[in-house]
Structure 1
């Protein structure tokens, strides 16, 4: 350190000495807090012991600051660009491979050169704020002349205001929130207020008698944020897109940064503290022995918080993960929200609805019995692998779509939908407390509804498949499957001596993906107004009539997600086995209802000459397959729904205890519902 400090004099202009000085502060391990703190304190003591070194370092830093432009650092780092999601994604990927060239004009480029490691934020934020401020006080002692940071801050405020105004007038926003066209847009008014505020600020700096007042500006920023909240709520009902989501995230980040900069430069004391910064905590850490209520102390705390935010954002400005995290959670929230509303139809509230669910799933079991027959017949064709995969896929897809059109229910389709409904129940109004009793009641309803649906599927799939195999034998004179094929079918559902449960987990992943696909297409149908677009098709109206065309549009808008989810789910089930064979990987699927149907077919193929041990093992096998299907798909869907809503859930033990209490209190009602709800 001492050698670097001695090399700095009044002629030093290069940034290399500062880079080398920061290298001496950087610990070898990013999270080595003790060593990083020790380095900072050592530098502080060196400068205190030699005021000349401190003065030379101060003058050197001021020369660097005066020679570079600041505004882009405050207005761009940590704020998404206006280029759009995919352009930003492509740019970040390209810069991760080959970073951009550095220049000598911008302060942001200097930050790139000084903090060139992505982990620098870890040790910088870990060092106590009081130590950083002590070093800052030693180096950056007041000197005569204008504030070198202030022009950049004011220019960044102006830039951010124009950006908020431009994004707020994007057609994707105004078309979605038409009220902005009826009244003067708050995004325009805030820009007018910012320009007026900055003009007064310049007159004040020039010595004019001007009273700064930012209260009306803050009110307009509040109104801008209120519009964003309204658009997000409307998007939950009418769907969203990646472009709209990106604009909303960019707007939020720009307004938040604008508030932070205004708080730093304002001298009137009227600006409110940034809502995303806990200034009490930062100020208490920075100056533990001084009252945190003082304005100067809180300003220093806000500056420290903004500096740490800029450093973290700078270190991660080329990371794809942060871009996805900022955007995908909003898009996933809308997708899972549509799945949540669909999931309400998969939850039986009383015994009458339980009976209706059982009958609905029983109808699906009948169709699955015939789908199992078609799959066996397609397998006897000995077609080419890709042709066979296509036939299997169409069998599954068209069968599942027929089940949906007939208002029947496949039990394993429930978890991906009901998990989102449970996640919605986890989100309390205050965002801090969860009503565990109500949540336990909801999960109890979901559990017994899914058990009922599984039993309904199996209740009819077994006899349907048995009757088909028996009828085939009576009509044709030979079995639907040979004894070797029958034994192979039974081996496929063996939970011990075959990878049946692993394949069941793969099917659970497919069910989870089908749920996301359903939510995505439901969102798209709402956002793009399918009902209105289909009703405008003149050729279709001439063919079907206007009323039928409108009903078709409404039906597709309400059911597009379910139809496409079933279609893609069938494709996944039909192709995974073939892909596993082609790539030499152990990939296949096991579905509880089809496994039960194959068990019945195998019994007929073996003329019922099976041991009771084999029957028990096979029944246990397809029941275990059903449990794995449900648990995997439900667990993944619940995880995504919680991540989409950013809900931390740490009450698993208390929730299990609440469920066990309900089971012990009324075991019969736990599984079939109470008589009072009948």
Structure 2
């Protein structure tokens, strides 16, 4: 009963304010409808039904609210609400970010003569769009029908609104023409220049349609053409946007191109909606479209300063491209048969051999006691150059695999979700990833340890030099203790770095294709003269195929090498633990202490190395899979069925999770030959 009184109070205030066009009475009415929590949808539905009941029962309420709404809308400038709300401006992503951030700190000026500002004042809470959207359209339509607009005379206000819609259609059409001629869009779809562009012709067709429309507003007896020709051309514009997206899937994409396509799609959708509201023959559908438009506008006004929405909207295609490139790289990390499995083992062993030397270089560098920033640079270069060498020699660091294979698994989940097929293909893929990951880790660790042992023993007995002091050895062993040290959190930090390295690799692969870096390098005169045409061509081809991997390894090394220094500068316990380096450090510590370690120490260190590896893999794989799924906008709902399928496979043939069969099983699994590219 209290809710009825509140609604009645708001309606009575509107009755008393007969000629008032202030947004305050409407804001009070919305406040009476607004729930205390946005998720209380049932409460809002009951309130709206109560409002509809009051309007049906009291003609003075109905007449006053209808008159008030028409005057409120008709007396203000409506154009910006139709053309700007919920649509990206032409300022670019960085400028849009700065503006939204500025408006969060200092809101823009309120203009009472602009309907958009009034709309934002009425739906002033940032969560209003949630409860507005939660209410079914049918409930909003009950309130619309209760107002009974056919009952009153609002010809002048209705005519003003239609003229504003006409102007909005013109503005939207001009913007579509301008966006459609942007050089970056033309570059990705050259046919726009060769043939008559629908982005231009839609504007011509729309002007003809709107001229007839305005003439009919003056003379209702005048006949006119409908908007069918305009809609056909808008459909052709949509086709071009779809083609550009397909081209981007092959040739890369940039944030600016994504921003253009998002703006273009938003303008095309909004122009169609404005045409729906203009066309009298759609009058019977107008309330439904008006409700849909109303919900869009509320969300747009509530989220107009959201930085998260801005980036989510404008980086979706780039994120998909980055994970796509990572997914294609991930194919090399999946062994479908015994030959590929053994090739991965050899590749991982090569990496373990090099890591043995990298671990020694880091230990010797730490003994120099360099200044923090110089030490961070030295550590970073050791890691970066070492990882790049591993890649160039076609060796494999095991922990680099999850960030790549996660994108491949996400692609398989997407196919399974779309096709609705069985989970056999996805289970086969995960089984292949598991055994490939197992042999890669085994190859890294089993060679890193003996390599480090050989180096340490050679230096100790051959040169009489001890690279690791007993005190340092105890410190290295303490760093492997999963209970008394921060080994596991530090391994999680390394997992985050591995995940970021995968994203960086995908970004630079996309950048190499989109910016046509190899072709531009081939145009340089001095390298062609210095190295020769054929040799420089091979260099450019290598860069095209490996720029992402080299960049990912380089930045991964910087992250690992500088993490400890960042922690020191910030006063935080930041550091990294990596399974391959940890196993090599265990070997160096054992030699330094003449292998005089208790069985408890051996056990603790062994468990620590294993847990560090598991944490590395789990964190990097989990983050990479999450990003890959979100970039594809899919949600996997068959987790339980997949777990059961994997359990059945493990019980039936557990060896396939560790050792590849001689020949790949005939399953819907597509992999390429594993070359061990890091």
TM (norm. structure 1) is 0.92
1:265 paired residue among 278, 302, 307: 278
Query: Structure 1: any 5+ residue segments left out of the alignment?
Result: 270-294
1:156 paired residue among 154, 157, 168: 168
| 2:264 corresponds to | 251
| 1:224 corresponds to | 237
Is 1:344 the counterpart of 2:331? The answer is yes
Give the Cα separation in 2 of the matches to 1:25 and 1:660: 52
| 2:36 corresponds to | 28
Give the Cα separation in 1 of the matches to 2:650 and 2:23: 69
Is 1:7 the counterpart of 2:16? The answer is yes
Is 1:487 the counterpart of 2:474? The answer is yes
Matches within 5 A, 1:239-388: 239-268=252-281, 296=284, 298-388=285-375
CA contact (8 A) 1:469 1:479 kept: yes
Give the Cα separation in 1 of the matches to 2:21 and 2:604: 80
Residue 432 of structure 1 and its aligned partner are, at CA, apart by 6.2
Q: 1:558 to 1:208 in 2, by over 3 A?
A: farther
Residue 638 of structure 1 and its aligned partner are, at CA, apart by 0.5
Is 1:406 the counterpart of 2:393? The answer is yes
Give the Cα separation in 2 of the matches to 1:3 and 1:570: 69
Query: Structure 2: any 5+ residue segments left out of the alignment?
Result: 1-8, 666-678
Give the Cα separation in 2 of the matches to 1:499 and 1:57: 65
SS of structure 1 residue aligned to 2:188: coil
**Deviations along 1:438-467, whole A, 9 cap, x unmatched?**
111111111111111111111211111000
Give the Cα separation in 1 of the matches to 2:590 and 2:402: 30
SS of structure 1 residue aligned to 2:315: helix
Is 1:190 the counterpart of 2:190? The answer is no
Give the Cα separation in 2 of the matches to 1:61 and 1:677: 69
Q: 1:171 to 1:641 in 2, by over 3 A?
A: same
Residue 163 of structure 1 and its aligned partner are, at CA, apart by 1.3
**Deviations along 1:496-545, whole A, 9 cap, x unmatched?**
32221111111101100111111111111111111111111112222112
Comparing 107-116 and 197-206, the one that deviates more: 197-206
SS of structure 1 residue aligned to 2:35: coil
**Deviations along 1:346-391, whole A, 9 cap, x unmatched?**
1122111111111111111111011011011111111122221111
CA contact (8 A) 1:212 1:268 kept: no
| 1:177 corresponds to | 189
Larger RCO (CA within 8 A; separation ≥ 6) = 2
SS of structure 2 residue aligned to 1:345: helix
| 1:472 corresponds to | 459
CA contact (8 A) 1:508 1:630 kept: yes
Q: 1:186 to 1:3 in 2, by over 3 A?
A: closer
| 1:275 corresponds to | none
CA contact (8 A) 2:566 2:574 kept: yes
Give the Cα separation in 2 of the matches to 1:354 and 1:337: 24
1:63 paired residue among 59, 62, 71: 71
| 2:553 corresponds to | 566
Comparing 128-137 and 522-531, the one that deviates more: 128-137
CA RMSD of aligned residues (A): 2.0
Give the Cα separation in 2 of the matches to 1:3 and 1:214: 43
Is 1:417 the counterpart of 2:404? The answer is yes
CA contact (8 A) 1:427 1:434 kept: no
CA contact (8 A) 1:465 1:597 kept: yes
Q: 1:676 to 1:547 in 2, by over 3 A?
A: closer
SS of structure 2 residue aligned to 1:431: helix
CA contact (8 A) 2:133 2:295 kept: yes
Give the Cα separation in 2 of the matches to 1:31 and 1:663: 43
Is 1:139 the counterpart of 2:147? The answer is yes
1:103 paired residue among 111, 114, 118: 111
Matches within 5 A, 1:79-90: 79-90=87-98
CA contact (8 A) 1:4 1:21 kept: no
Give the Cα separation in 2 of the matches to 1:38 and 1:426: 41
Residue 228 of structure 1 and its aligned partner are, at CA, apart by 1.2
Q: 1:434 to 1:511 in 2, by over 3 A?
A: farther
Give the Cα separation in 2 of the matches to 1:221 and 1:515: 39
1:624 paired residue among 591, 595, 611: 611
TM (norm. structure 2) is 0.92
Report the number of matched residues: 651
CA contact (8 A) 2:15 2:65 kept: no
Give the Cα separation in 1 of the matches to 2:422 and 2:107: 49
| 2:674 corresponds to | none
Give the Cα separation in 2 of the matches to 1:587 and 1:676: 45
Q: 1:391 to 1:231 in 2, by over 3 A?
A: same
Residue 232 of structure 1 and its aligned partner are, at CA, apart by 1.2
Residue 249 of structure 1 and its aligned partner are, at CA, apart by 0.9
Give the Cα separation in 1 of the matches to 2:182 and 2:589: 62
| 1:292 corresponds to | none
Q: 1:191 to 1:52 in 2, by over 3 A?
A: same
Give the Cα separation in 2 of the matches to 1:429 and 1:629: 28
CA contact (8 A) 2:15 2:64 kept: no
Give the Cα separation in 2 of the matches to 1:79 and 1:312: 12
